[in-house]
């Protein structure tokens, strides 16, 4: 089960955080800071895995963004890389060649997409098409009451 997923920039700015385990805000911040520092310090040629506390950290950089997940000992770290990749593909399809700015300005959409891919830290849907269909349908539902109060 995935414990959490963090997206952060090369400058160390947090762009998205999804927690599947309960921690106090203070603890979350501490973990986030610690991992961002550790990962940014690693050289690009190094492997994508870290042993950290009783978890395995799996991370991968896409352009200026780092995707970082904590999974449990029994989880397959190579599969975690595939999950990250799947999420990137979904973002890319949704935004159309996604870039960091898309995620900054539409972070809520990025969360919605992740929530259609994973529930409770486990994969719920392995078909890209189904995920995007569900997101599109909900976006339509949102636009039905189309006036400016719905435009956040």
Applying CB under 8 A, the residues found at the interface with another protein are 1, 14-20, 22-25, 29, 45-51, 74, 76-79, 81-83, 86, 104-105, 107-108, 111-112, 115, 119-130, 134, 137-138, 141-142, 144-152
CA distance 60 to 46: 11
92 or 125, CB closer to another protein? 125
CA dihedral 70, 73, 79, 85 (to 10 degrees): 10
The dihedral through the CA atoms of 43, 48, 49, 55 has a sign that is: positive
What secondary structure letter does DSSP report for 4?
E
Shortest reach from residue 44's CB to another protein, in Å: 11
> Which residue shows structure tokens 């895995």?
49
Shortest reach from residue 97's CB to another protein, in Å: 20
95 or 111, CB closer to another protein? 111
Shortest reach from residue 55's CB to another protein, in Å: 14
């Amino acid at each position: 089960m995935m414990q959490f997923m963090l997206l952060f920039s090369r400058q160390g700015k947090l762009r998205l955080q999804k927690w599947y385990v309960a921690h106090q805000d203070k603890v979350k911040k501490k973990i986030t800071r610690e991992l961002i520092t550790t990962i940014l310090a690693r050289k690009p040629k190094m492997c994508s895995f870290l042993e950290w506390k009783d978890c395995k950290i799996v991370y991968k950089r896409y352009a200026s963004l780092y995707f970082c997940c904590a999974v449990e000992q029994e989880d397959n770290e190579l599969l975690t890389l595939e999950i990250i990749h799947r999420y990137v593909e979904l973002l890319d399809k949704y935004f159309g060649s996604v870039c960091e700015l898309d995620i900054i300005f539409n972070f809520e959409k990025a969360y919605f997409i992740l929530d259609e891919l994973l529930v409770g830290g486990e994969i719920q849907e392995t078909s890209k098409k189904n995920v995007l269909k569900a997101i599109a349908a909900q976006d339509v539902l949102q636009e039905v009451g189309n006036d400016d109060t719905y435009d956040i």
